[in-house]
């Protein structure tokens, strides 16, 4: 409830009160109809509450209005006593207001549910209002009967009677909490956290600040939000739009996936370099790459494709999967296996080429072939790394023009190292014939086929597990 006190010309003061109908109606002893005032009866109270529930069922936020006159001494503003002033009121009506959800909210809720994110409504609104709005945005099903709703909708009054253990038992099932106080919001957040969930809490008022602070991610409104709520939050929505949260989740997932692509590419390529150098040493062969060649590969040709993978468009089903576990790691067994497999394949290709040219050519040409084959393997591998599960035929190269430009620039710089005379001397290389280029490209392209086969095997295995 909230009351204001106004001076009147008749040496009296007017108490104007508004508040929740179920609370305010208990403070009313009289009712105003047109210009007449009569006694408030139990039957009238029931009629008023029925009208309030009907309005709330239409997704209206309902306020009851009441008033009374007092003398100056009784309503002393400096010593305001709400328990004394907000009594013996005259009920004068109900006001229904609607703050309709934005059109995009319903679609955003569907996106959340599809992505394994469970949206829950926590509001101070009346239970009927909360249920109606939850149905509108898709948090509650439209065909739920009243009996089922009692399991999915809880009020602050019900939470008051529950211990933490009782809340823990129902927290995963409840979709709407109505008529809640700041203390209730904190208990709700803590209950989810005890279940191991990551909790994002949205709010705009002063009373939301404690829950925003307690949540794993507090999200405040930038337009309607109070300074207190913005200070307590971790994030502030500049447009006060729930859909922006969903878009931010998608951006976060895309960034995480691109970090994985970047790491798969660099780690597999660098591990491949280490394996060929180590393998040559153990087999008593000459060094296949000199230090300057390795430095050129790592600093020049690796960098551009890796940067392009960092801005790769996300997979089309990015939001169709549940979020990662709270304690999950970046390097899953599958990821480590994929990196190892690619590295071993690179080693085998380079080892075969090096041995082949050592028998039929000078060491400098064998090293040049290993150098260019290593670069071409990495360029083909960059297209493999665009997705852990999708084929390169599904993730078409031109969807990421930056990657095409990066690969083209890396290959062009490598051609310069091999076919410009003064760079031959600097990098210990020699020009290659077109047959050498064809051989290197043919061997390097096998990495596409081999990784495609590995992805297919994994896909078939996952299908068999799911079935």
Split the chain (467 residues) into runs of 10 and give each run's mean pLDDT.
84 89 92 90 93 87 91 59 82 89 85 91 88 88 72 90 92 92 94 93 91 94 91 92 89 90 91 93 90 88 88 86 81 87 94 89 89 93 86 79 91 91 89 92 92 86 76
If residue 69 lies in a helix (H) or strand (E), which one and from where to where? strand 61-71
Pick the CATH number of 103-245 from 3.40.50.720, 3.40.50.1000, 3.30.70.270, 3.90.650.10: 3.40.50.1000
The pLDDT tens digits for 282-326 are: 988 899 999 999 998 888 888 889 999 988 988 888 888 888 877
Q: What architecture is domain 253-466? A: Up-down Bundle (1.20)
Q: What is the DSSP letter of 299?
A: I
Q: What is the pTM of this model?
A: 0.75
What is the Cα–Cα distance from 369 to 381, expressed in whole angstroms? 18
Q: Are 153 and 130 in contact (CB under 8 A)?
A: yes
Distance CA 429, CA 424 (A): 5
Alpha-carbon gap, residue 130 to 124, rounded angstroms:
9
> Contact at 8 Å (CB) between 273 and 386?
no
Residue 158: the pLDDT is 92
Give the whole-angstrom CA distance, residue 323 versus residue 170. 22
Per-position DSSP letters for 72-91, written without gaps between them: TTTT-STT--HHHHSSSEEE
Number of other residues whose CB lies within 10 A of the CB of residue 460: 10
Q: What pLDDT does residue 394 have?
A: 77
Question: What integer pLDDT is reported at residue 467 of this predicted model?
Answer: 66
Extents of the domains making up the chain: 2-97, 103-245, 253-466
CATH dotted code for 2-97: 3.40.1110.10
- As a whole number of angstroms, the distance between CA 413 and CA 332 comes to 35
Tell me, rounded to whole angstroms, the distance of Cα 347 from its chain centroid.
39
| HSE toward the beta carbon, residue 219, CA cutoff 13 A | 17
Residue 49 makes CB contacts below 8 A (sequence gap 6+) with: 21, 22, 25
Q: Which burial class, exposed, middle or buried, applies to 466 when counting CB atoms under 10 A from its CB (0-12, 13-18, 19+)?
A: exposed
pLDDT at residue 149, as a whole number? 77
DSSP 118-151: ---EE-SS-HHHHHHHHHHHTSS-TT--HHHHHH
Tally of residues, the chain: 467
Q: Do residues 243 and 109 lie in contact, with contact meaning Cβ atoms separated by under 8 Å?
A: no
> What is the C-alpha separation between 269 and 384, in angstroms, rounded?
12
């Amino acid at each position: 409830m909230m009351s204001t006190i106004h001076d009147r010309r008749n040496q009296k003061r007017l108490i104007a009160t508004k508040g929740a109908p179920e609370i305010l109606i208990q403070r009313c002893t009289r009712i105003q109809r047109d210009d007449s005032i009569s006694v408030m009866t139990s039957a009238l109270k029931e009629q008023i509450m029925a009208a309030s529930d009907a309005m709330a069922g239409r997704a209206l936020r309902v306020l009851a209005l009441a008033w009374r006159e007092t003398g100056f001494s009784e309503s002393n503003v400096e010593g305001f006593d709400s328990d004394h002033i907000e009594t013996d009121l005259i009920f004068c009506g109900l006001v229904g207001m609607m703050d309709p959800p934005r059109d995009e909210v319903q679609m955003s809720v569907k996106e959340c549910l599809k992505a394994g994110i469970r949206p829950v409504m926590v509001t101070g609104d009346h239970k009927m209002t909360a249920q109606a709005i939850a149905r509108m945005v898709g948090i509650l099903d439209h065909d739920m009967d009243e009996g089922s709703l009692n399991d999915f909708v809880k009020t602050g009054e019900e939470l008051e009677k529950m211990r933490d253990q009782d809340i823990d038992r129902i927290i995963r099932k409840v979709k709407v909490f109505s008529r809640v106080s700041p203390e209730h919001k904190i208990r709700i957040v803590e209950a989810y956290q005890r279940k191991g969930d990551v909790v994002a809490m949205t709010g705009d008022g002063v009373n939301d600040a404690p829950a925003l602070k307690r949540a794993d991610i507090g999200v405040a409104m930038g337009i309607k939000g109070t300074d207190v709520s913005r200070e307590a939050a971790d994030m502030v929505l500049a447009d006060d739009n729930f859909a922006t949260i969903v878009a931010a989740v998608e951006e976060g997932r895309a960034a995480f996936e691109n970090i994985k692509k970047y790491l798969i590419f660099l780690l597999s390529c660098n591990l491949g370099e280490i394996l060929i150098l180590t393998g040559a040493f153990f087999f008593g062969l000459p060094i296949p790459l000199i230090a300057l060649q390795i430095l050129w590969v790592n600093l020049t040709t690796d960098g551009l494709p890796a940067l392009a993978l960092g801005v790769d468009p996300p997979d089309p089903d990015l939001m169709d999967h549940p979020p990662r576990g709270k304690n999950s790691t970046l390097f899953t067994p599958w990821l480590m296996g994929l990196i190892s497999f690619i590295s071993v394949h690179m080693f085998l290709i380079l080892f075969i080429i090096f041995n082949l040219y050592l028998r039929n050519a000078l060491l400098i040409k064998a090293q040049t072939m290993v150098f260019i084959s290593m670069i071409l393997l990495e360029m083909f591998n960059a297209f493999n790394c665009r997705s852990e599960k999708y084929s390169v035929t599904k993730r078409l190269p031109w969807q990421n023009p930056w990657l095409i430009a990066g690969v083209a620039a890396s290959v062009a710089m490598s051609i310069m190292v091999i076919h410009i005379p003064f760079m031959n001397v600097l990098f210990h290389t020699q020009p290659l014939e077109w047959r050498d280029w064809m051989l290197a490209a043919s061997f390097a392209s096998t990495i596409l086929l081999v990784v495609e086969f590995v992805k297919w095997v994994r896909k078939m295995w996952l299908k068999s597990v799911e079935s």
